[in-house]
């Protein structure tokens, strides 16, 4: 007993030492509502810099789904002084394209009416278009080509790169859109000017062409992956009324229909300074950063109206939902429960409950993989979103076993948590692991910058200091209570994936001649390419071409498929930007 007590005391001491550290954040709020977070760290003469807009796909509505992600693309297209050879002509072209696009929209709506009446079967069939429709399409193609000729390609990126900046990128999620880069400390003023200029003087050039690029990205990430469409369907089935139901990339019909006017209205509300926060972490002088923030971000006009919070809440689920799918994947079960949003008092208990299940020392690995041998892998996750949350458990069946067997094994582990208290040593172990992870994530300037921005998009950056204490306060009784409260049959949605059986002789397009392992590699690469920038695609294609001749004879087909995938993606990037 004494030895156990000493071990527990040692574990508690380790946990307290890790989560006691506080992040010293300096904060500036300008008159227009813009917020700047600063964490100066001496040493490395670089600064991790970024800003976040508190807007994501959850803030959209039917008809413009995907517009938040589209903006992520458009924000790199330059301003009045960046990205164009002739801004006056550029703006005239944009105005004309908007008029032509409005006329095309009228033609498309007429075809949609005919489709609803059964007069045409496919509105994309060129044969059903009117002469006026074809004329406007031809004019739009000429206007797009002229605009492309006027565009200084990737100038925004090149300015940063020539100044020593690195890692410039952005990301869109359900609740926010974030932009970030690493810049030398002596180029901090350049960052303030560049970022404020693309907010003050944006030119959404190549708008209609970029919609097609995003549509292609959707095809690469969702439509062309083995389970992409099913995952999208599963998510839409899980959420009955919440706007979390639609994908971040948007529905295809919405991507094709979003207009520049809709985009400008969306930008005016959601990219106003009162909806933005920036963060700097690295070697810089806070007083200088404050001066630059006032000079550059202070010139942004406050939004005419405040962004509205999401109004529609998820309806309480009253019955279990199930989806059965056949795909090019291993037999898998996905179980998802409605839980709580970020910041809810139960979120910390659910986070730790997931940690109890995960990892090679976790309950799922020990039970399903080592003892019962019904699964090859299993994991759990509490997903805290701004307005809603869910708990997901996934298991991949071992050959010779079914997704249903894995499903029942997962339920038994949940039942144990509902009936038995977690032991103090097991609970403290996962608390310490969690605290150690929090500590490690504070060491990187870039990681800290992103964490602060994301927390600011939710309830405020301060939760990086208050959250660990609340998590450490979770008790075994809390774990048992949330397992009982949220993990009920009527509150869950289940997805069962079975391996799709192809017909004899049938080959997946583009993967003919490859064995099963090679096909899987090719599919994974195809999905990854959808995330790559043009320079990354060129670099990989160059490496493949250099190494192709030296590849073994039995790998030549795979090399050929990879080259084709890269070449197609390069053609898409060069043609769409």
Task: State the DSSP string of 84-149.
Answer: BS-HHHHHHHHHHHHHHHHHHHHHHHHHHHHHHTTS-S-TT-GGG--HHHHHHHHHHHHHHHHHHH
The residue-averaged pLDDT of 136-142 equals: 94
Q: To the nearest whole number, what is the mean pLDDT of the chain?
A: 90
pLDDT classification of 529: cutoffs 50, 70, 90: confident
Closest CA to 51 of 194, 186, 160, 156: 194
C-alpha to C-alpha distance for 504 and 496, rounded to whole angstroms: 24
pLDDT at residue 508 in the model: 56
pLDDT classification of 569: cutoffs 50, 70, 90: confident
- For domain 29-84+151-209+254-299, give its CATH number from 3.30.830.10, 1.10.3470.10, 3.40.50.620, 3.40.50.300: 3.30.830.10
The string of DSSP letters for 522-538 reads HHHHHHHHTT--HHHHH
The residue-averaged pLDDT of 21-36 equals: 95
User: pLDDT tens digits, residue range 242-301?
Assistant: 999 999 999 998 988 888 889 999 999 999 999 999 999 999 999 999 999 999 999 999
Q: Higher pLDDT residue, 7 or 529?
A: 529
DSSP H helices in 239-285: 252-257, 260-270
CB-count exposure of residue 249 (10 Å: 0-12, 13-18, 19+): buried
Find the radius of gyration of the CA atoms of the chain.
26
pLDDT at residue 530 in the model: 64
Q: Identify whether the C-beta of residue 394 lies closer than 8 Å to the C-beta of residue 331.
A: no
How much of the chain exceeds pLDDT 90, in percent? 74
- In this structure, what is the dihedral angle of CA atoms 249, 52, 210, 531, given to the nearest 10 degrees? -60
**Structure-block tokens of residue 216:** 């292609």
DSSP label at residue 370: I
pLDDT classification of 510: cutoffs 50, 70, 90: low
Domains 29-84+151-209+254-299 and 321-499 share a fold: yes
pTM of this prediction?
0.82
C-alpha to C-alpha distance for 334 and 316, rounded to whole angstroms: 20
pLDDT at residue 7 in the model: 34
Range of lowest pLDDT (349-358, 435-444, 563-572): 563-572
pLDDT at residue 577 in the model: 43
Write the CA distances from 309 to 204, 278, 304, integer angstroms. Answer: 26, 21, 16
Q: How many CB atoms lie within 10 A of CB 174?
A: 21
User: pLDDT tens digits, residue range 260-276?
Assistant: 889 999 999 999 999 99
How much of the chain exceeds pLDDT 70, in percent? 92
Q: Higher pLDDT residue, 565 or 199?
A: 199
pLDDT classification of 3: cutoffs 50, 70, 90: very low
**Domain ranges (residues) in the chain:** 29-84+151-209+254-299, 321-499, 516-576
User: pLDDT tens digits, residue range 550-561?
Assistant: 777 777 888 888
Q: CATH homologous superfamily of domain 321-499?
A: Metalloenzyme, LuxS/M16 peptidase-like (3.30.830.10)
pLDDT at residue 324 in the model: 95
pLDDT classification of 98: cutoffs 50, 70, 90: very high
Range of lowest pLDDT (17-21, 229-233, 394-398): 17-21
Question: pLDDT at residue 132 above 60?
Answer: yes
Find all residues with CB under 8 Å of 268, minimum gap 6, and list them: 303, 304
pLDDT at residue 575 in the model: 62
């Amino acid at each position: 007993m004494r030895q156990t007590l000493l071990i527990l005391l040692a574990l508690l001491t380790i946990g307290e030492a890790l989560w006691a550290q506080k992040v010293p954040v300096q904060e500036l709020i300008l008159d227009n509502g813009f917020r700047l977070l600063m964490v100066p760290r001496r040493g490395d003469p670089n600064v991790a810099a970024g800003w976040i807009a508190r807007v994501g796909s959850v803030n959209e509505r039917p008809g413009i789904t995907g517009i938040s992600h589209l903006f992520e693309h458009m924000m790199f297209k330059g301003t009045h002084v960046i990205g164009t050879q002739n801004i006056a002509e550029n703006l005239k072209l944009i105005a004309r394209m908007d008029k032509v696009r409005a006329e095309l929209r009228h033609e498309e709506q007429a075809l949609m009416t005919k489709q609803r009446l059964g007069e045409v079967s496919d509105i994309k069939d060129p044969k059903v278009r009117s002469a006026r429709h074809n004329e406007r399409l031809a004019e739009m193609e000429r206007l797009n080509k002229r605009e492309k000729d006027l565009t200084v390609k990737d100038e925004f990126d090149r300015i940063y790169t020539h100044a020593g900046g690195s890692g410039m990128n952005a990301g869109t999620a359900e609740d926010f859109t974030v932009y970030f880069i690493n810049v030398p400390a002596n180029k901090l003023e350049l960052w303030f000017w560049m970022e404020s200029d693309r907010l003050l003087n944006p030119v959404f050039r190549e708008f209609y062409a970029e919609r097609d690029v995003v549509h292609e990205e959707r095809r690469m990430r969702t439509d062309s992956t083995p389970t992409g469409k099913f995952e999208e369907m599963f998510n839409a089935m899980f959420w009955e009324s919440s706007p979390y139901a639609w994908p971040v990339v948007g529905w295809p019909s919405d991507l094709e229909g979003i207009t520049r006017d809709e985009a400008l209205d969306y930008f005016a509300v959601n990219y106003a300074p009162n909806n933005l926060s920036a963060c700097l972490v690295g070697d810089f002088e806070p007083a200088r950063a404050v001066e630059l923030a006032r000079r550059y971000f202070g010139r942004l006009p406050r939004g005419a109206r405040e962004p509205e919070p999401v109004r529609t809440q998820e309806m309480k689920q009253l019955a279990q939902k199930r989806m059965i799918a056949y795909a090019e994947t291993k037999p898998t079960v996905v179980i998802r429960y409605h839980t709580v949003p970020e910041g809810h008092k139960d979120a910390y208990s659910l986070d730790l409950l997931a940690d109890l299940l995960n990892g090679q020392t976790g309950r799922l690995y020990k039970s399903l993989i080592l003892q019962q041998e019904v699964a090859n892998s299993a994991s759990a996750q509490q997903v805290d979103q701004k307005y809603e949350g869910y708990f997901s458990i996934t298991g991949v069946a071992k050959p010779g076993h079914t997704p249903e067997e894995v499903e029942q094994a997962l339920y038994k582990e949940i039942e144990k948590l509902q009936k038995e208290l977690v032991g103090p040593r097991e609970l403290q172990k996962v608390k310490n692991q969690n605290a150690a992870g929090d500590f490690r994530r504070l060491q990187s300037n870039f990681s800290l910058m992103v964490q602060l921005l994301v927390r600011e998009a939710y309830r405020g950056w301060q939760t990086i200091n208050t959250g660990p204490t609340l998590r450490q306060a979770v008790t075994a009784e809390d774990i048992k209570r949330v397992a009982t409260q949220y993990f009920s049959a009527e509150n869950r949605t289940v997805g069962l994936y079975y391996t799709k059986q192809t017909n004899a002789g049938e080959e997946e397009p583009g993967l003919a001649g490859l064995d099963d392992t090679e096909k899987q590699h090719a599919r994974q690469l195809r999905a990854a390419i959808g995330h790559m920038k043009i320079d990354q695609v060129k670099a990989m294609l160059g490496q493949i071409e250099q190494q192709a001749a030296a590849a073994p004879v039995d790998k030549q087909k795979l090399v050929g498929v990879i080259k084709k995938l890269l070449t197609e993606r390069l053609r898409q990037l060069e043609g769409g930007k």
